[in-house]
Structure 1
Amino acid sequence: MFNPQRLSIARERRAMSKKGVAEKVGVTPNTIHRYEAGEIAPSDESVERLAAALDFPVSFFCGADIDQPRRDNASFRGLASKSARIMDAALASGAMAYLFDDWVSQKYGRGEPDLPDFGQGQNIAPATAAKLLRQQWRLGDKPIENMVHLLEAKGIRVFSLAENTKDVDAFSVWRDDTPYIFLNRFKSAERSRFDAAHELAHLCLHKHGGSAAEFKNSPIEKEAQAFAGAFLMPESDLRAVVTSTIYSVEDLLPYKKRWRVAAVALAYRLLEIQLIPESRSNSLYVEMSRRGWLKNEPHGIAREQSHIWQQVMDDLRQQGVTKADIARETGVPAPELEALLFGLANMLTIEGSGERTAPRKVDLRLVK
């Protein structure tokens, strides 16, 4: 049976309007509207044209409703610059992630998330929340080696975003009691780490917050920024390590390597805890902008990769599972898998011999 909701998700995933789809399919925009509203069902031939226009398999359009992140329960970093179409494309990517994550959860053990709720009117300051979370996770004040690995070890599902949503820095969402973070893998590695900490703030500070639209130009974004800075660069560690005066942008480079953050984020954090005056912070920012560091700064770090999805892909490969197998069983097209899994799905062949071995006993709860 044709499912109109799946047509809406496929169209949003491609960031296309109903008019745009109609032109490709050769029908009127009103026809696409009626398809999605469930008022009429397309013929088999029309479904094939829809599938070709949207680059989804025909089988995707037949099946049960798909769970999908919504604008009213997702937080987008820097929402002010995002159009509704860009947000909807990212949220539709989230629907693909849900399908794949449910499939994985049927095959592998998944632990319960270890994430406190600092919301519900507790009025906990962002820096305090960051310190409390570090205490709960027994991190001390040491620099965090890999944010993606840390989040995964605490039961947070971490996915990457596809290139056609590269204007979205990151977004996060609670799906019932399971937290998800989606990271843009086309930004710098330092920026991605900060985005991960920013979204972590939304998950534990703003679980009971309002709709995504309410995040625009609101204190909520400032709270997430403050949390991210304090979580990645604890004040006590900064004060213990930064013992010499910061005069120039070159003076920031050894310290940015320690905390694995962008120089601009480090300079802002030093200003925040009053280790440098505002005038010095402003001059550093101007100099970094002049040198182009705001887009591409020297001494970049290696991009963080998922450990969970590396384990899963390695196990599936040894079983003889192909991308075509996963696409058929989940309904997620192979290119979407590659986009969501940090490119790790490329470990799998597209097609295989058809012979599959029994799965190994891989327990994702044991990943640290």
Structure 2
Amino acid sequence: MTATSPGFVGARLAQARKARGLTAVSLAEILGITSASISQYEHDKQAPRPELTERLAVQLNVPPTFFLREVTPDTHERATKWRSNTTATKFARERAEIRYEWLREIVEYLGSFLNFPALNIPVFDGVPDDFRELSHADIDRAAKVCREHWGLGTGPIPDLVVLLESNGVIVSRGRLNAEGLDAFSEWLPNDLPYVFLGSDINVGVRSRFDTAHELGHLVMHRHVSKKQFGKPEDFKILERQAHRFAAAFLLPKEQFFRELWAPTLDAFASLKPRWKTSIKGMIVHSHRHGLLSDTQYQRAMINYNRRWKDGEPSDDQIVPEQPRFLARCMEMILEESVQTRDQVLAELPFAQFDIEELIGLPRGFLSGANAEVIPLERPTFKVQTGERGGKVVSVDFSPRRGS
């Protein structure tokens, strides 16, 4: 009788295959086996031979132990808020979803040692239960209340990603490998909100707007069901609402319009480095609030497309904001000898480069060899005895004044 791999978890094979962008047919062709065999393995109807398991691990770039780790099933209805749900392919969203599942496993691991910042997302009174009844005034008020709740004033926000992280939002940035799939977010039942930002288009103002857009979903659409979000007509409404929230949050009209010396392309371009928002977004925002008439708006967009069809000015000067919190968490548990690098890689069943990318570490960090050095502020912490016999580190991630 041919020996098989004991403890092989078919769901892990399905995860790795989808995460690497492979169909069952294409993976089978690479390995020289049938797609029916892949299906048998993924549905736990049969386990591969040990030598085939090794080949699967090499081909899918995961450690062999990856296939031995059980997958914790979701016990709640998933309601992920996808950007560009109508243009990204189902296959691309599926691939991104797997990487998001891996991120959540990593966060759960880090959370077994660390106390994360307390959740501090404002709750709004008087907001309609039905998102379709949200008025423009409601959305603008939501953006204003967020700024007031966090004491941001009416000026530009220095770093929106750090702001979210310091208020209890888990943020990750990585490749989504799909045109039109820019970002997504979700509230989990344990009151832990996630935002995943795509790094495929490396334009700072676009990524910043994506961050504000996902914040809008977290604030206004927490209880919108997956079924509602999947309806094309409802999806368009939800996206327009998040767009409006993002613009109102990034460009408070009282201060921004006070600084806008004229509603011209040159004036918008001059304010872009300060407000770190696209010129096109400023034009739309100005038209939305009556600073540009319909005719002026149309003329501005025509001139914009003629002038900057290959990209806006200052795009190369405004770098995308990077998540920092999870990277700092990993640094701390290593620096304080809570875990060693070998223990981390043994506890987390993923490829080293996947872990590093998902939590924002430089490539090679977990091997300690040839790692690119990226200086990060060291957070203050306190250490207590942990249930696992290690240490529990409480991270103070409040942004410093002036940061």
TM-score over 0.5 for the alignment?
A: yes
Aligned to 1:236: 254
Unaligned stretches of 5+ residues in structure 2: 1-6, 370-380, 384-392
- Residues 1:54 and 2:60 are matched in the alignment: yes
Question: CA 1:206/1:48 → structure 2, altered by over 3 Å: closer, same or farther?
Answer: same
Question: CA 1:197/1:254 → structure 2, altered by over 3 Å: closer, same or farther?
Answer: same
Give the distance between the partners of 1:105 and 1:164, measured in 2 at CA: 28
Question: CA 1:67/1:302 → structure 2, altered by over 3 Å: closer, same or farther?
Answer: farther
Aligned to 1:179: 193
- Residues 1:40 and 2:49 are matched in the alignment: no
Question: CA 1:92/1:107 → structure 2, altered by over 3 Å: closer, same or farther?
Answer: same
Could you tell me whether the CA contact under 8 Å between 1:323 and 1:334 is conserved in 2? Answer: no
- State how 1:135-284 maps to structure 2 within 5 Å: 135-162=148-175, 164-165=177-178, 167-176=180-189, 177-187=191-201, 188-211=203-226, 212-214=229-231, 218-242=236-260, 244-247=261-264, 249-284=265-300
Q: Which structure: greater helix fraction?
A: 1
Structure 1 residue 150: deviation in Å? 0.4
- State how 1:67-146 maps to structure 2 within 5 Å: 72-117=78-123, 120-121=129-130, 123-124=133-134, 125-146=138-159
Tell me the TM-score normalised to structure 1 length.
0.88
Could you tell me whether the CA contact under 8 Å between 2:356 and 2:366 is conserved in 1? Answer: no
Letter in 2 for 1:338: E
- Residues 1:2 and 2:11 are matched in the alignment: no
Question: CA 1:345/1:229 → structure 2, altered by over 3 Å: closer, same or farther?
Answer: same
Aligned to 2:375: none
- State how 1:290-309 maps to structure 2 within 5 Å: 290-292=306-308, 295-298=311-314, 300-309=317-326
SS in 2 for 1:197: helix
Structure 1 residue 151: deviation in Å? 0.3
Give the distance between the partners of 2:75 and 2:281, measured in 1 at CA: 29
Unaligned stretches of 5+ residues in structure 1: 353-358
Q: RMSD of the alignment, in Å?
A: 2.7
Give the distance between the partners of 1:68 and 1:335, measured in 2 at CA: 25
Tell me the TM-score normalised to structure 2 length.
0.81
- Residues 1:340 and 2:358 are matched in the alignment: yes
Letter in 1 for 2:53: V
Letter in 2 for 1:193: R
- State how 1:297-336 maps to structure 2 within 5 Å: 297-298=313-314, 300-316=317-333, 318-319=335-336, 325-336=343-354
Aligned residues: 359
Which deviates the most, 54-63 or 22-31? 22-31
Aligned to 1:367: 398
SS in 1 for 2:186: strand
Give the distance between the partners of 2:200 and 2:45, measured in 1 at CA: 40
Aligned to 2:25: 19
SS in 2 for 1:79: coil
Give the distance between the partners of 2:382 and 2:121, measured in 1 at CA: 29
Question: CA 1:95/1:67 → structure 2, altered by over 3 Å: closer, same or farther?
Answer: farther
